[in-house]
Structure 1
Amino acid sequence: MADSAGSAALTVPLPEIRPLLPGPPGAHCPTRRPSPAPGGAAARLGRLHTGRAHHTRVRRPAGPHCAPPRSDLNGLATRFALRLVEVLAGARPARQLARHTTHTGYGELTRLVQQGTLRPETGSTRPVVRRVYDSAPTPGVLEVCARVDTGPRTRMVAFRLEFHPRSQQWQCAAVETR
């Protein structure tokens, strides 16, 4: 690409951004269509408007039907742990995880960021995630513990991910460091 002076514009490589869960949104959970109202479409068209909105409640499958396979959960835990450690180390702003956390989880996250628990000291290396341990105590819940090397010390970061069927997303509900 050239500008009006004829010199070539610089191209800067962009970082690769991957979603927390591979695939298109909603691909990991089956969706159901609402059942047709009694009387069919012809009966609905013949009704008079009463001024009240007609709402059909859509039921979604609960719990184990929405949970992705175990292999996806391990990848999810690892990817979220990497992003979480980057936020706690100050390499990424906390607001980047806002849509992936509950209100309570975001409050805990911002408190830990302000405390600087994983922020590297001057001259020391960035924190490195060494190992991620995960457990699914119930369907739709993933408890994760990550071992993080911060130079001379090894720290642990624990967090809880919960699957919210309404939004079809995993969200961090709790964060703790030691």
Structure 2
Amino acid sequence: MIETLLVVTRRGGSVDTTEPVALGEVARKWWADLDPDGTLTVETHREILGDPSRLRQLLENLYRNAVEHGSADSPSDADDSAERDGPGVAVRVGDLEDGFYVEDDGPGIPEGEREQIFEPGYSTSNVGIGFGLAVVEQLVDAHGWDVTVTESESGGARFEFTGVETPDE
């Protein structure tokens, strides 16, 4: 995580060059590379314009966050473990009209805390250091996108990324 933060900080600012990225394809590949405890469902075939390395950091941070906060054996969710189907979290990536979303089936983020989660050092877990979502926000800003945090259909966290360009535009 510290290495990712250093890379983002060194690059700073906006993304200078973008290229078409097959969102569903890379979402699957980067999930497999990370090999987290859980399942990934991809419901997109869309190509988006982005910086592949920064997009990878964004997705990996969301994946890690979902696993840390949503898995049955997560320290912060021990009381909820009996309600889960298995040991890992379920993450889904899909399309929005002008972007995409990443959601999980974890405990979600209370509405009153949704703005705070992007502050560096903010964490509700004793596992992380609270920079993952701050990095996500920096990566979103660098691309010129917007991010909204809401609740997934299953009650988990849902991150919606809008203002995302496609090669067709």
Which structure's CA Rg is the greater one? 1
Same fold by TM-score, threshold 0.5 exceeded?
no
Report which structure shows greater RCO (CA 8 Å, sep ≥6).
2
**Structure with the higher helix share, 1 or 2:** 2
TM-score, length-scaled by structure 1: 0.30
